[in-house]
Amino acid sequence: MKLGERGATILITTLSVTGILITLVLVANGLSFSELNMSNDNKKNQLVLDAAKAGISDGLLRITKNQCRADPYLYSLPINEYSATIRITGCGTQNIFIESTIDNLSILHPSKKMTANVVLSNGVVSVSNISEVSF
């Protein structure tokens, strides 16, 4: 093998290995970016869910303080960057239903809804069921 042929072979091999390494680095970088986006989406969804839970808590507080006078009792509650729509039905009865909805106008972060069934007996408020409702 001549010196020129050997140099060309080494050059081609070096360029091939460099190309493979660059491809691997770009793929790894893309995967990291994708994981970061998923992590941020999960965090945002958890914040929306927490805001819906806070709406349920506020509804329970209003029932405890006997502030549920109309049926249905509707109000909005600002929670951080969101606004919860709270609907309490069954005011003045033993069985009360609370619904807290966070309307989120983003496809990536859909609306969240929490519901709670509350029993009011002898002035004592107890939650019989609380759940997240799927849209």
Per-residue confidence (pLDDT) for residue 105, from 0 to 100 = 60
Per-residue confidence (pLDDT) for residue 78, from 0 to 100 = 86
Where does 3-133 sit in CATH, by number? Answer: 3.30.1300.30
Burial 71-100, CB ≥16 within 10 A → b, else e: eebeeebebeebebbbbbebbeeeebbbbb
pLDDT, one tens digit per residue, over 77-114 is: 888 778 888 888 888 778 888 888 887 666 666 678 88
Per-residue confidence (pLDDT) for residue 40, from 0 to 100 = 73
Tokens (6 digits) for 73: 């009792």
Per-residue confidence (pLDDT) for residue 20, from 0 to 100 = 93
Q: What is the pLDDT along the chain (135 residues), one digit of tens a residue?
A: 566 778 888 889 999 999 999 999 988 888 787 777 777 777 777 888 888 888 888 888 888 887 777 778 888 888 877 888 888 888 877 888 888 888 766 666 667 888 898 888 887 888 888 888 766
Per-residue confidence (pLDDT) for residue 101, from 0 to 100 = 84
Q: Residue 63's Cα: distance from chain center in Å?
A: 27
Nearest-angstrom CA–CA distance, 27 and 107? 27
Per-residue confidence (pLDDT) for residue 104, from 0 to 100 = 66
